């Protein structure tokens, strides 16, 4: 994940891949901090991929032997992925805040 640290207004913002290096709040130039994806992020990606495979199996009418439970499993996995990603973003933002306070970054 990438975060943009603005020295002018003292904010840390999650940065999209298409976003420029300017702060969304004040418009001044910012510093980009990269935080590697942790285990929660990879678990969220895996849960999303499994849910997508279950959707694909439902579309092509492939019987997995789960009956109607595959629908509950799909939505459960998607909800789990959202919760895991919420915690992953919180973890990454805490690491970005630690890196932003590093005097070597200035």
What per-residue confidence (pLDDT) applies to 104?
A: 66
Which of 66, 67, 2, 13 shows the shortest CA–CA distance to 37? 2
Taking residue 80's Cβ as centre, other Cβ atoms within 10 Å add up to 16
d(CA 10, CA 30): 10
The model carries a pTM of: 0.76
Per residue in 51-76, pLDDT tens? Answer: 998 888 877 777 777 777 888 888 99
Q: Residue 105: pLDDT band by 50, 70, 90 thresholds? A: low
Per residue in 75-94, pLDDT tens? Answer: 999 999 999 999 999 999 99
**Cβ pair 70, 50 in contact under 8 A:** no
């Amino acid at each position: 994940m990438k975060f943009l640290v603005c020295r002018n207004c003292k904010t840390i913002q999650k940065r999209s891949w298409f976003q420029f290096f300017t702060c969304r709040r004040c418009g001044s130039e910012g510093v980009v901090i990269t935080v590697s994806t942790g285990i929660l992020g990879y678990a969220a990606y895996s849960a999303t991929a499994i849910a997508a495979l279950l959707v694909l199996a439902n579309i092509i009418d492939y019987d997995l032997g789960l009956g109607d439970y595959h629908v509950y499993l799909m939505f459960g996995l998607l909800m789990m992925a959202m919760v895991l990603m919420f915690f992953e973003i919180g973890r990454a933002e805490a690491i970005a805040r630690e890196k932003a306070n590093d005097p070597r970054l200035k």
